[in-house]
Structure 1
Amino acid sequence: MDGAAGVTGAVSLLRPVRAGNAFEETVERLLQAIKLGVVGHGDKLPPERELAARLGISRVTLREAIRALQEAGYLDVRRGRYGGAFVVYRPPSPRKGDLRRAVNEMGESDLEDALTFRMAVECGAAQVLAGSRLGPRQRETLNARLSAVNDAAPADYRRMDIAFHLAIAELTGSPLLAGACADARLRVTDLLNAIPVLRPNIEHAAAQHAAIVEAILDGDPEAARRAVAEHLEGTAALLRGFLA
């Protein structure tokens, strides 16, 4: 599991796509990485050769996908020695009615399903990780992700929060579990982006994040599961509160 120490979310999202729908899946994977902040605003996508190899696609397919995202306003492609594909997407600032519109587009039943899915896979990831023998690099990574979300400015909080949660899944060493957790978070990302980042909520989440890390580092799977469940129940309650 030492190879997962440099967790950024790339393991979850920039993994090989299926050959039958290579273009469509490449667009989807890159868009997921952008929306989840794995590649943040102003950051450059990995070099073309490296990214094509990660996704298991041809460079022609990758260029087509990048061109599509450029036309959609997510990427800015620059030429020359210091060129590349740079992310220009920023999550929109919350506006009144955004959350209700997002839920209406999703459907109330799909919202509850998404929250249930997230609860199942993230609690499972924390249990698995807590039951693993973590080396110094894994412990360092987990503490670093915790510090990053605690130190994040409000404008960058959601991105650092995502990185923290994805780190737990990726450090299990299971690409399937990490991918499931990334998918679960993506399903609620537009909803979370539609509500303001509140200081009391950040402070409460910080205590819950610390409890999650403590349980994992102590090697207590049940405590890790309970800590994640409490945290996600709070997020679900916040969403329902803004919808009330």
Structure 2
Amino acid sequence: MTADLTFTYKGLTKSIGLPMFKPIKSPRTFELVAQEIQEAILSGRFKVGERLPSERELSATMKVGRPAIREAIRTLEYSGLLDVSKGVDGGIFVTKPDSSVALSKVFSYLFRLGEISIDQLTEARLLIEKDIVELAMRKISSQDEYSGLEQVLNSALEKCRTGVRPRKENFEFHRILAQFSRNPILIIIDNAIMPVLYSFVESLKPSLEHSKLVTESHMGILREMKKKNLRGALEKVEEHILWFSEEFKKTSGSEAISPNDIRFPDF
């Protein structure tokens, strides 16, 4: 099928036919292999934790070369559907994909390109973390459920006393809080944002005193939640996020932080 393109030059009109669609290229062999394996997993033929046949067996079954099998497995491993381990008990195993990892990579690319500023991160956090706290308070049925958050904050305080910045604990607080919402979409988004937040924090090399203030702010949020004071908890969340934003603007001297030397959590 073609579309006519008409143009006029020196009084003469000319029409030429142009194709409406580009030619379709056949997918590469490894892409077809990846699609076949992916469909086998998503249709339930292979469950999470099950071992797939070996490269050699897959090659023989699908009648394609082992390089194509290897490339397909590498692609699915990167997407989070497969995990490849070596050794006596090694093999190709089906895993449950962590959607927050994939989303976090997108955020990290935007950060590297300078497309995410501290103000944009703050806006997103205000919307998401308030919803998380509200849902958590609605769904938590026992004070005992707060024990995980209390342990993390106590560990953070102990590190501060010994002169160590509680990097892991201050981020773990947000991860546990998101879990309390029992909403997988909010959990995925919050977990994806945390590495970007971590990048902002580490790029500015905050002091131990700053880490103490972050921990104390987290304790204030938890206190209001335990008192079942929703309004107070939401106010503490907003106060915490806005304070964090302003402190880092002062430290960086700019509303947008450079993505140079970006680092992500290794804990």
**Band of TM-score, shorter chain:** 0.5 to 0.7
Matched, 1:172 2:181: yes
Match of 1:106 among 97, 105, 114: 114
Q: Deviations over 1:204-223 (max 9, x none)?
A: 22221111111111111111
Letter in 1 for 2:202: N
Residues 124, 68 of structure 1: alpha-carbon distance in 2 compared, 3 angstrom cutoff: closer
Contact 2:204 2:252 in 1 (8 A): no
SS in 1 for 2:248: helix
Matched, 1:208 2:217: yes
Aligned partner of 1:224 in structure 2 is 233
Q: Distance in 2 between matches of 1:174 and 1:122?
A: 12
Q: Deviations over 1:52-111 (max 9, x none)?
A: 9xxxxxxx9996269769xxxxxxx6635699xxxxxxxxxxxxxxxxxx9783246x43
Residues 81, 192 of structure 1: alpha-carbon distance in 2 compared, 3 angstrom cutoff: same
SS in 2 for 1:49: coil
Matched, 1:151 2:171: no
Residues 61, 141 of structure 1: alpha-carbon distance in 2 compared, 3 angstrom cutoff: farther
**1 or 2, which has the higher helix percentage?**
1
Q: Distance in 2 between matches of 1:201 and 1:141?
A: 23
Letter in 2 for 1:231: H
Contact 2:225 2:233 in 1 (8 A): yes
Q: Distance in 1 between matches of 2:159 and 2:73?
A: 33
Q: Distance in 1 between matches of 2:141 and 2:190?
A: 20
Matched, 1:190 2:165: no
Q: CA deviation at 1:224?
A: 0.8
State the identity %.
11
Aligned partner of 1:99 in structure 2 is none
Q: Distance in 2 between matches of 1:161 and 1:197?
A: 13
| Runs (5+) with no aligned partner, structure 1 | 1-18, 24-47, 53-59, 70-76, 84-101
Q: Distance in 1 between matches of 2:151 and 2:72?
A: 32
Return the index of the structure with the highest Cα Rg: 2
Q: Distance in 2 between matches of 1:68 and 1:133?
A: 35
**1 or 2, which has the higher strand percentage?**
2
Residues 65, 144 of structure 1: alpha-carbon distance in 2 compared, 3 angstrom cutoff: farther
SS in 2 for 1:131: helix
Letter in 1 for 2:219: A
Give the paired residue count.
Answer: 171
Q: CA deviation at 1:136?
A: 4.6
Match of 1:141 among 135, 140, 148: 148
Aligned partner of 1:130 in structure 2 is 137
Q: Which has the higher contact order (CA 8 A, sep 6+)?
A: 1
Letter in 1 for 2:213: H
Contact 2:165 2:208 in 1 (8 A): no
Residues 80, 113 of structure 1: alpha-carbon distance in 2 compared, 3 angstrom cutoff: same
Contact 1:149 1:161 in 2 (8 A): yes
- TM-score with structure 2 setting the length: 0.52
Residues 201, 65 of structure 1: alpha-carbon distance in 2 compared, 3 angstrom cutoff: farther
| Runs (5+) with no aligned partner, structure 2 | 1-33, 39-47, 53-69, 80-84, 92-109, 254-267
Contact 1:170 1:178 in 2 (8 A): yes
Matched, 1:64 2:74: yes
Q: Distance in 2 between matches of 1:151 and 1:66?
A: 42
Q: What CA RMSD, in Å, does the superposition of the two structures yield over aligned residues?
A: 4.0
Contact 2:165 2:211 in 1 (8 A): no
Residues 239, 78 of structure 1: alpha-carbon distance in 2 compared, 3 angstrom cutoff: farther
Q: Deviations over 1:125-144 (max 9, x none)?
A: 11222333432541212212
Letter in 1 for 2:87: R
